[in-house]
Structure 1
Amino acid sequence: MTKTNSHKPKTSTQNKKVKDSGARLIFGDPILCAQFLRGYTDIELLKDVQPEDIEDVTDRFISVWQEERDSDTVKKIHLKNQEDIDTLYLITLIEHQTKVDYDMSFRILRYIVLILTDYAAEAEKKQAGCTALKGFRYPPVLPIVFYDGDRNWTAAKNFQERTALSDLLGEYIPNFQYLVVPLSRYSNQELIEKEDELSLIMLIDKLRSSAEFHELAEIPDDYLEKISRDSPESLLKLIAKIIAAFLHRLNIPKEEIGDFTDQIERRDFTMLFEHFEAYDVQAERAKARAKGEAEGQARGKARGKADSILLLLSDLGAVPEALRERIMDETDMECLDQWIRGAARASSVEEFTEKYLPDLKEA
């Protein structure tokens, strides 16, 4: 559910969490949401759900807690051929951090109360007193947690497990369970076999470093060709936007992301992953800094040894400028150590030069 001060939908640019933006875009799109419900929940009632059956009602509910939840959505699913009730409410909560939310069941309980309260109010507007009738039925609320974190989901899925004395008073305590769909459950091959747009997004979402990106070069050409051929233009643009959010998480340079997503929008899936560099710009900067610091330390040590050599030679007489520059330019530590020993033993600057740097003497 999104915390908002009006009924106007939030844009992804308002979201401070890049990953949440990508997740919200997935479940905000009816085509991708329908693919998720059909292919990832294993609920028979949802096996035939179509995009036109899904209505986003997230903005009807104002958050009652302080933290921003831009990645959570509430959907109204219009059921077919159900005599008792034709509506199912779907709560999708996206968790992607490695830290599991152990209070998830209570968060969901608050969602459920808000949804059913709103449903009852709408029903009363249509028929006053209907909620007090024997035949009134509340719609089912299905809570789903899509989890793409690295660790196992270890939080209690039933609210009773979070309630004290549930073994004695269980029948008086709210008893419901939420469904967890962990992305780590699916191998790359299992995702590829689904042959839909969401599976491509999931493949990118599974990546945890830019180095892993090159593993996707093994994706079959016919899989990419099918998505390229069958996807509507609007969905390709959305896929590019979602993938851009996920690639940004990997610190890949904007230019690389732009080139990659441009290929998707142009339906140019030929060798989509083979020529994508996908390097972590932050990691590369860190390596460069570390290398620079190491080189700086090495130069400092070399400078110290060179100063020692010149100090020893200056005790023997005047040091020619050419010899001074040559010693200061040397960075080989073993060579500098040898020159220190030689300078300490030499009886003159000329003797040192003739033995260790004869080319300077000849010059």
Structure 2
Amino acid sequence: MSSDVNPEKLHQRHDTSYRFLLSSKKLFVELLRSFIHKGWVQAVDEEHVQEIPHSFVLQDFKRQEADLVYRVKLNGQDVVFYLLLEMQSSVDFRMPYRLLLYQVEIWRFLLQNEEDALLNRKTFQLPPIVPIVLYNGKQKWSAELEFRKLLSNENLFGSELLNFEYLLIDVARYTEEELLSLSNTIGSVFLLDQTEDQEQLLNRLGKLMSTIQQMPVDSQQKFVAWMANILLQKLPEDEPSLQQFIQNVKGDVSFMGLEKILDDIERRGQHKGEQKGKEDVAKQLIRMGMDDSSIAQATGFSVQTIEDWRKQAY
């Protein structure tokens, strides 16, 4: 990818990719069951999950993150899950404070259409909000998880201080073995999101092929579409198979299309490797003093190419 790509745009594209993926109720529940180890998680049922189509990210942070809000029935009562997609490369140590602001805005939003009579009843209660931060930066998340830890002299006080703790999903901290063992869409997404280079990306995709093939059709389609955005970040933009794949995603999203791009890239990589090997041999023969015609015959390069390399060498 060219060096003049705006990092801010990359973060925004990544945010939107995750938001697109987790706007699926099925994948949202899968995320909880795979990475949140709490007793209540198993009680979350996809049939009782409803997205609240509203963003509560404050204007100050619009370029740094995205969010998803779900209303879930647990034990017959409404619980709100607030998922903040934190795709910055650095840790924001104000996170508990920001989440407090978002939670207050969610309550304001939910209560604005309630009748005053209901709000003034003795039985009035706010729906609980479970804040979750999904972070995919390389740097380990080191911000406080508890709100009161941001308060100066908090150790002097007890329960009279406001407090809550958010749940953290730190994508880069999971091992390849852990993510492969999940054998599901979200585990596959995290594994590919961790990749550092094209070689590792292709290697991990190879390991995931059976998992991808066994995904439910709707999850597989979401995954392959998500892959289009990730491939744009992980592979050179001028990769012809990539461009073809991106075009196909806009129409018929298919697992076969993903297999084809991997095969094409691998073949091209092998071809480039072979060409590089021949080029190294030709240049060594130049240094040994062999004539251009003989080198061309031995390596398959044109005499003109050999002459050009000879000029560069001397």
TM-score (norm 1): 0.63
C-alpha separation between the residues in 2 aligned to 1:181 and 1:70?
A: 15
2:204 pairs, out of 213, 216, 220, with 216
Match for 1:65 among 46, 56, 59? Answer: 59
Question: After superposition, what is the alpha-carbon deviation per residue over 1:2-38, rounded to whole angstroms, capped at 9, x for unaligned?
Answer: xxxxxxxxxxxx9982111111112222121111012
Letter in 1 for 2:32: L
SS at match of 1:66: helix
Contact 1:15 1:70 in 2 (8 A): no
- Deviation string for 1:33-64 (max 9, x for gaps)? 111012111122122423332222142x5554
Aligned counterparts of 1:260 and 1:131: Cα–Cα separation in 2? 53
Q: Deviations over 1:81-133 (max 9, x none)?
A: 34xxx1111111122333101111111001111112233334x32xx333333
- Letter of the 2:242 counterpart: I
Equivalent residue, structure 1, for 2:234: 250
Q: Is the 1:160–1:170 Cα contact (8 Å) retained in structure 2?
A: no
Partner of 2:30: 35
Mapped partners of 1:271, 1:40: distance in 2: 28
After superposition, the Cα gap between the structure-2 partners of 1:267 and 1:239, relative to the gap in structure 1 and judged at 3 Å, is same
Aligned to 1:236: 220
Structure-2 separation of matches of 1:130 and 1:273: 58
**CA–CA distance in structure 2, aligned partners of residues 37 and 332 of structure 1:** 60
User: Which residue number corresponds to residue 48 of structure 2?
Assistant: 53
Secondary structure of 2:131's match? strand
For the 8 Å contact 1:98–1:151, the answer to whether it is kept is yes
For the residues of structure 2 that align with 1:76 and 1:158, how far apart are their CA atoms? 23
Q: How large is the Cα RMSD of the aligned pairs?
A: 3.3
Residue 174 of structure 1, aligned match among 162, 166, 178: 162
SS in structure 2 at match of 1:73:
strand
Partner of 1:193 in structure 2?
A: 181
Matched residues in 1 for 2:16 and 2:42: separation? Answer: 27
Partner amino acid, structure 2, of 1:247 = L
Mapped contact 1:15–1:21 kept (Cα < 8 A): no
- Conserved 8 A contact 1:24-1:70: no
Report the CA distance shift for 1:244/1:121 in structure 2 as closer, same or farther (over 3 A). same
- 1:332 to 1:166, Cα distance in 2 relative to 1, 3 A: closer
**Residue 13 (structure 2) pairs with residue 25 (structure 1):** no
TM-score of the aligned structures, taking structure 2 as reference length: 0.71
Residues 10, 233 of structure 2: 8 Å contact kept: no
- 1:252–1:278 Cα contact (<8 Å) kept: no
Which structure would you say has the larger RCO, counting Cα contacts within 8 Å and 6 or more residues apart? 2
Residue of structure 1 in register with 2:101 after alignment: 110
Deviation at 1:269, TM superposition (A): 8.1
Cα contact 1:21–1:245 (8 A) shared by 2: no
Greater Rg, structure 1 or structure 2?
Answer: 1
Contact 2:65/2:86 (<8 A) preserved: no
Gaps of 5+ in 2: 1-8, 268-306
Give the corresponding residue for 1:98.
89
Give the aligned partner of residue 133 of structure 1. Answer: 121
Partner amino acid, structure 2, of 1:77: V
TM-superposed CA distance for 1:251, in Å, is 4.3
Go from structure 1 to structure 2 and tell me whether the alpha carbon gap of 1:272 and 1:32 turns closer, same or farther (over 3 Å shift).
Answer: farther
Shift of 1:242: 1.2
Work out the CA distance in 1 between the residues paired with 2:244 and 2:182: 26
Selected match of 2:256 from 268, 293, 307: 268
Q: Residue in 2 aligned with 1:89?
A: 80
The 3-state SS of whatever aligns with 2:66 is: coil
Change (3 A) 1:88 1:278: farther
